A and B are shown apart, each in its own frame.
Chain A
């Protein structure tokens, strides 16, 4: 069961990962943002019954985890937490689409099951790519990169504040829920009845705190501009990184590698 405490620790761990010093961490954030974007577009652009061609794409998360020295289990757990949402989206496909597309021995598999599986695999790929992007780049740097790539500054700052205030909200939520827990003695208390008021208070307190934080930022001359942690320079390494991965994604997208390998192997053996 995910607790508020656990969530906040996870967020912070993700934040800390971005302070690493691997070669991937040192790349200009723009290269990583664009590579991730290209990855996601390639993955989602497949037809809805495609499953096998998606598997080569797992190379990207695996390679990034290896090169950037990220905790694979932690990221896998985080990704797994999001997958139920994908399942909810895909779960009705088998009911709506019962056309048989595939026979595995005596088992007939309908198009619905295949598209459902496709949705889940895609979700796993895109969500893990996003987590990896955050953990090798850091959220503030991503926002800065997006801005330098042409996103309006207002959106970049909004995103940053969203990220900053998630922590504030979690902190406040933690205290409120602890105070409630201590006075309900393990029971469920009055349940929903007081829940509305609790959430309302939480909102107001977070609001006030957000205002204080904003004041403290203004007091230090904040003008709506964030300065990146690392000086960015889009050099040879960035170009190689971006071109290399993009070319690979393009290959994976245009050529069904598992099928190709399958035909090749059966061809050689046969």
Chain B
């Protein structure tokens, strides 16, 4: 299933103002993997994600999704394969009702109306938001918005799911619920996050970005045991791997 593969080679990106956000990033993510991209603020995580569906064009290097290099001519195919959930759900939801927002993608793919209807019901059902279908998105709570934003992407049935900070701004219950939801998807998943406990729960593999370069790439557990690496990259162990603050014992 080669269309589930994401390959980034020597990716460099310089913003028009001269900031070098990515300085030669390479990795390969294969079918069904769940990969976290972590790093300090400004490490280049969001810039990297924006290359995965062609929102940004590399200054140097290349990105391949499945059988296609990401270029202007392959963009429609790429965007059908890579579903991207942006950090702020308000950026993603813009139509008068949830149902219309979720059908926006499938309609753009030119699917027939009954197929669109099926996908919308399906996507809303999967994220547990079927009862919100006729509500306007701006009346939803943060957690509901996030789930609907994910539904807007699921309705396009992408093979690769990319999420930018999926748990930011959620209350503990909404966060748990979202993690449960993400755990059920068997797509190739790529996400950035500062929520390292979620990374530990959901991703078997972690890529650490530091100042625009890949500082480490390996099994999540190994990376979180390397305190030196974490400190160098302005990170720390997930709370669940730190000592208990009350009984003072190491976890």
Contacts and interface: CB of A to CB of B under 8 A. Distances in A.
Interface of A: 12, 15-16, 18-19, 138, 140, 164, 167, 171, 209, 212-213, 215-223, 225, 227, 229, 231
A7 B156 CA distance: 35
Contacts of B103: 227
A140 B55 CA distance: 25
20 contacts: A12-B136, A15-B136, A19-B96, A138-B96, A140-B96, A212-B86, A212-B91, A215-B50, A215-B86, A215-B91, A216-B84, A216-B86, A217-B104, A218-B55, A219-B86, A220-B105, A220-B156, A221-B105, A222-B104, A227-B107
Nearest to B88: A212
Interface of B: 50, 53, 55, 76, 79-80, 82-84, 86, 88, 90-92, 94-97, 100, 103-105, 107-109, 113, 134, 136, 138, 152-153, 156
Contacts of A213: 91-92, 94
A151 to B, nearest CB: 21
Nearest to A222: B108
Contacts of A167: 138
Mostly helix, strand, loop or mixed at chain A's interface? helix
With most chain A CB atoms within 10 A of its CB, the pick from B83, B96, B97, B153 is B96
Contacts of B55: 215, 218-219
Contact of A18 (B88, B96, B105): B96
Nearest to A223: B108
Contacts of A140: 95-96
Nearest to A220: B105
A18 to B, nearest CB: 7
A225 B88 CA distance: 24
Given A216-B91, A227-B104, 20 more contacts: A12-B136, A15-B136, A19-B96, A19-B134, A167-B138, A215-B50, A215-B55, A215-B86, A215-B91, A216-B92, A217-B104, A218-B79, A219-B83, A220-B105, A220-B156, A222-B104, A227-B103, A227-B107, A227-B108, A229-B96
A221 B109 contact: yes
A208 to B, nearest CB: 10
Contacts of B82: 219
A231 B103 CA distance: 14
Contacts of A212: 86, 88, 91
Given A12-B138, A15-B136, A220 B96 contact: no
Nearest to B94: A164
Contact of A221 (B76, B96, B97, B136): B76
Contacts of B80: 221
Contacts of A164: 94
With most chain B CB atoms within 10 A of its CB, the pick from A167, A209, A217 is A217
Contacts of B83: 219
A213 B96 CA distance: 15
Contact of A209 (B50, B91, B104): B91
A229 B100 contact: yes
B84 A219 contact: yes
A229 B82 CA distance: 26
Contacts of A18: 96
A190 to B, nearest CB: 29
Given A15-B96, A212-B86, A212-B88, A220 B138 contact: no
B174 to A, nearest CB: 21
**Nearest 4 CB-CB pairs, A to B?**
A221-B108, A220-B105, A227-B107, A212-B91
A209 B156 CA distance: 24
B119 to A, nearest CB: 12
A15 B80 CA distance: 30
Contacts of A223: 108
Contacts of A225: 108
Contacts of B50: 215
With most chain B CB atoms within 10 A of its CB, the pick from A16, A209, A227 is A227
Contacts of A215: 50, 55, 86, 91
A221 B88 contact: no
B191 to A, nearest CB: 15
